[in-house]
Structure 1
């Protein structure tokens, strides 16, 4: 039974001291493996690069021979010792929902970052002891078996159970269908529990109604609220870590909306990816890439439901939901990647460059394109069945037929269930929206029409984007540097990414005046620096508008049937009730 211990001699150093005790050993040699990636982020992260001072010792403290076999695998000569201790320091200075962080006043750890396992002992029960002050609380999905000690069923269970511990944790809980849901906050924030708990209850209740049963006994929302702007969330077996900021704005409309959205999203993952898992990831292999092509299900469907269920449960108004949907549209259309790589192939390539901007126009996001694809599929199933079936039924069957029995699903399984619920072939949808590079526009427009909504397409607000086809780099707000160029646009013939624009038609660019100097102009003489060399190029308007803006809106002319379809879909009335102003008594 492996035993782990974490301590910290100097929190300011950023290093955690990690000890692993392995007992009842009989083999002549042992292989130790540190994970190379973590669930929820499908790329190699090579956590071994954060280890320092790796050693293995016998019970008497004498060192044992160790040889590194791969970047994160070690071979140990046991030399007949039935018990060994592995020691190293881990640099815990990654503050996001998938990292680990040590500070004088709190400790946050994702065990998958820093704990290793021994070959052959992966399925053994294990414990994790924390060397922390007695008065600190521990927020974690694992049970506590002794003071400051967590118990896990096996290494995967431990690796998938992050924790926060401090003396300043804020905590409340609510119960739904016999399951306890814990909400934890760490940070200098003031959560309004009277507002938070009813909203969390609402979307939790909606998810439980959709899937009918819950995969785990209890659940923990582990929120780290930071003193600066931040947004990230990662799903786990019976918990999620969410990092947000700035702390003083937690209950502001903008940041609170983000808290609700990411919390609903991550809870949905408790079924979709933690239990409903692709065949290629059952079980996880932490030593290498686990290639899979169904990220559009794991993340795309979850992104759709993360906002949609907030509207369906009454937490969001329809307008608030459309605002979130319009943000997805904006992010999806930031470039022309949809024309070059399908969302299924982009799922496979998360292991290559899925979490970086990458080269221009190469791929799509499994979150954004996957969300739009899920919306289209949901409304298409509703249309073909006159609202008798929906994507809810597909996901419920995914849970019942694959998640509950512990079976991995394939692309073909997902398509089969979708077609069975739709009552007809969905081959054109899967060929174009999932496996192809067709535009999303006709599919989404047709889907929205069923519920009395329209997809609006308007020129970009900035003239140089719409007329000439280039966008500035938003990371350099004070310097006009080209960040993106639309292929086959006027800009594509004369501009390149990273060009630093100096002047337009003889006028110096300063104080954000590029829009003013380009609006309504027929020809631009642009002076720029390219690789530190001054040049002048000429830009003329193209035959079409580039970088359009998309938005979803209700159609004022929607029929009664369309309005009823809207109500069936969003569980809200198409037309909001008119507020009657109270009469003034004189």
Structure 2
């Protein structure tokens, strides 16, 4: 239907950017306090008839349909003479204009941006973070055309992006919409550093105050950049931007074509465990610049911004990235061998405590990522592409190392993917299998069937022994201590059951997620006192549990189980050969870190 014009001044009236032949974007951020902006998009000459304009329904790096168009209001369209064009809404992310004659077209709309944690769009009095997928509309007819983005911002703001600068401090240019949609903009009041690594230029932009150390961040990010050659021959970028948000609670990160955004609560940078979270995330997103940006599976090439892109290989895109992130940091000397092995041990422990690993394959998890919800059902019947993809990568790496007598590793698979299948190409399952055959001379079809297309059953004792290691709990395997385990976990700060282990004692007792505990053996139990109360019993004891289920008070007998006490750790075997030490170095890229007593060597 035809829409009446409202008081929405074209930004071209107050922006002085020179005329641009491609698609011209303008965004007015001059009154950011209430999270609002005005966006204008000018398209070159459009032929008469229907002309679709879209806002993506998902953003790259987040494989989930999102309600991005809900932040759009006051949509209007005009021709070159300023005449209103009729339009209709044809889908959640699509507006179709009707042109009686060929003309340039200008689309404008109000944008609401108060979403930070999903890293789509956020505008306030101090900054704006703009992921184009949730900010700038496009037309399929002009997706491949060059474009310009101009920002009108408050005094004192600085603007940064992985895109090239145009004329002026707040203007960027890109060869097409695909580059724009993968090159977020950070503008506002921020801290900035420039540095170089391996003949590439980098920028670090930090918005928000916190307990971070910019100099340390730059030092370690420089070391990280020098390690790219451990996996790939060459870089897919000349300049890369690390955007960091020190937030009031939001956390997470997203990779992009030439940049990343990393979010952590503002006082979670100084302590070593917190800093490791930051720098490992930075490594993860840096690796993504190759793995999933420079090369990615069929189904994601080209991106279809209006619907899901299915692939059974998301485990390579995400899980392999997780697999490499700590290895590069250890090679760079940013983290210690002890910290690297602690991370591997923790991941193995979480894998072993996930019943869903017996039910779902990592290929199926990849295909289901777009609708994955998490929770108790997922815990018992699913795996996730990050953690299970990590385990698949570990198993595949060790298989390649063994089959080639340490001549090749999983790194060579990714080197070949970048070399032979870089976008606009894409890779399929058969392409990965083909690379494996080229490297090893073996048919990896049976391995793929048992590890990727079927739920994995990994023998960690055998795998780790190749590198002279064993998995223990506590200080060493002679400890062999256990603790009481009820077969469920509680929601944080609550007595509500969050997950139960399928087939465990709590499962068999009829307890389900959402039940709320009230008493044990007739005595009240509290959230902060639950673990201490549980310690009054031993494995095999039967306790009487009182709980609410759908507001009804119920009781059941629960036989307590057990779990190893202490965190999982990787320790050296009692006797380690030179061959095993060589395997360790070929695997992780660092020297054998233990002394003759089995303790970590002092640096």
TM-score normalized with structure 1 length: 0.91
Kindly indicate whether the alpha-carbon contact (under 8 Å) linking 2:57 and 2:306 is maintained by their aligned counterparts in 1: yes
Instruction: Output one character per residue of 1:407-436: Cα deviation in whole Å (capped at 9) or x when no partner.
Output: 110011112212322332334432222111
Kindly indicate whether the alpha-carbon contact (under 8 Å) linking 1:235 and 1:269 is maintained by their aligned counterparts in 2: yes
Matched, 1:267 2:286: yes
**In structure 1, what is the Cα distance between the partners aligned to 2:570 and 2:445?**
26
Corresponding residue number in structure 2 for 1:501: 517
> Secondary structure of 2:421's match?
helix
> Secondary structure of 1:316's match?
coil
**In structure 1, what is the Cα distance between the partners aligned to 2:127 and 2:591?**
46
Offset at 1:277? 1.3
In structure 2, relative to structure 1, the CA distance for the partners of 1:112 and 1:336 (3 Å cut) is same
Which residue among 345, 355, 364 is the counterpart of 1:345?
364
1:32-431 equivalent positions in 2, closer than 5 A: 32-80=53-101, 82-96=103-117, 98-147=119-168, 148-166=170-188, 168-189=189-210, 191-228=212-249, 230-245=250-265, 247-353=266-372, 359-403=378-422, 406-431=424-449
**In structure 2, what is the Cα distance between the partners aligned to 1:78 and 1:547?**
71
**More displaced 10-residue stretch of structure 1: 371-380 or 512-521:** 512-521
1:532-571 equivalent positions in 2, closer than 5 A: 532-541=551-560, 550-571=568-589
Offset at 1:190? 5.4
Instruction: Output one character per residue of 1:314-348: Cα deviation in whole Å (capped at 9) or x when no partner.
Output: 21111101222233334434531112211011001
Offset at 1:112? 1.0
Kindly indicate whether the alpha-carbon contact (under 8 Å) linking 2:345 and 2:471 is maintained by their aligned counterparts in 1: no
Kindly indicate whether the alpha-carbon contact (under 8 Å) linking 1:482 and 1:496 is maintained by their aligned counterparts in 2: yes
Offset at 1:311? 1.3
> Secondary structure of 1:381's match?
helix
Matched, 1:435 2:453: yes
**More displaced 10-residue stretch of structure 1: 507-516 or 121-130:** 507-516
> Secondary structure of 2:257's match?
coil
**More displaced 10-residue stretch of structure 1: 566-575 or 17-26:** 566-575
In structure 2, relative to structure 1, the CA distance for the partners of 1:150 and 1:461 (3 Å cut) is farther
**In structure 1, what is the Cα distance between the partners aligned to 2:72 and 2:253?**
25
Corresponding residue number in structure 2 for 1:487: 502
Kindly indicate whether the alpha-carbon contact (under 8 Å) linking 1:329 and 1:551 is maintained by their aligned counterparts in 2: no
Offset at 1:66? 0.6
Which runs of no fewer than 5 residues in structure 1 stay unpaired?
Answer: 582-586
**In structure 1, what is the Cα distance between the partners aligned to 2:110 and 2:144?**
25
Corresponding residue number in structure 2 for 1:584: none
**In structure 1, what is the Cα distance between the partners aligned to 2:120 and 2:30?**
20
Matched, 1:19 2:34: no
**More displaced 10-residue stretch of structure 1: 204-213 or 59-68:** 59-68
Offset at 1:525? 0.8
**In structure 1, what is the Cα distance between the partners aligned to 2:600 and 2:580?**
23
**More displaced 10-residue stretch of structure 1: 568-577 or 122-131:** 568-577
Instruction: Output one character per residue of 1:86-129: Cα deviation in whole Å (capped at 9) or x when no partner.
Output: 12122211113632110112111101112111231111111111
**In structure 2, what is the Cα distance between the partners aligned to 1:556 and 1:573?**
18
**More displaced 10-residue stretch of structure 1: 204-213 or 261-270:** 204-213
**In structure 1, what is the Cα distance between the partners aligned to 2:374 and 2:425?**
28
**In structure 1, what is the Cα distance between the partners aligned to 2:379 and 2:255?**
29
Kindly indicate whether the alpha-carbon contact (under 8 Å) linking 2:491 and 2:498 is maintained by their aligned counterparts in 1: yes
Matched, 1:447 2:457: no
Offset at 1:506? 1.8
Corresponding residue number in structure 1 for 2:12: none
Offset at 1:460? 9.7
Corresponding residue number in structure 2 for 1:29: 50
Kindly indicate whether the alpha-carbon contact (under 8 Å) linking 1:93 and 1:102 is maintained by their aligned counterparts in 2: yes
Kindly indicate whether the alpha-carbon contact (under 8 Å) linking 1:462 and 1:515 is maintained by their aligned counterparts in 2: no
Kindly indicate whether the alpha-carbon contact (under 8 Å) linking 1:272 and 1:302 is maintained by their aligned counterparts in 2: yes
Offset at 1:456? 3.4
In structure 2, relative to structure 1, the CA distance for the partners of 1:511 and 1:218 (3 Å cut) is closer
Instruction: Output one character per residue of 1:141-169: Cα deviation in whole Å (capped at 9) or x when no partner.
Output: 01121222111111111111101111x32
**In structure 1, what is the Cα distance between the partners aligned to 2:153 and 2:303?**
31
TM-score normalized with structure 2 length: 0.88
In structure 2, relative to structure 1, the CA distance for the partners of 1:353 and 1:575 (3 Å cut) is closer
Kindly indicate whether the alpha-carbon contact (under 8 Å) linking 2:461 and 2:471 is maintained by their aligned counterparts in 1: yes
Kindly indicate whether the alpha-carbon contact (under 8 Å) linking 2:376 and 2:498 is maintained by their aligned counterparts in 1: no
Kindly indicate whether the alpha-carbon contact (under 8 Å) linking 2:483 and 2:565 is maintained by their aligned counterparts in 1: no
> Secondary structure of 1:572's match?
coil
What is the root-mean-square deviation of aligned Cα atoms in Å?
A: 2.5
Kindly indicate whether the alpha-carbon contact (under 8 Å) linking 2:485 and 2:563 is maintained by their aligned counterparts in 1: no
> Secondary structure of 1:536's match?
strand
Matched, 1:5 2:21: no
In structure 2, relative to structure 1, the CA distance for the partners of 1:355 and 1:56 (3 Å cut) is farther
In structure 2, relative to structure 1, the CA distance for the partners of 1:324 and 1:579 (3 Å cut) is closer
Q: How many residues align?
A: 568
> Secondary structure of 2:39's match?
strand
**In structure 1, what is the Cα distance between the partners aligned to 2:505 and 2:376?**
23
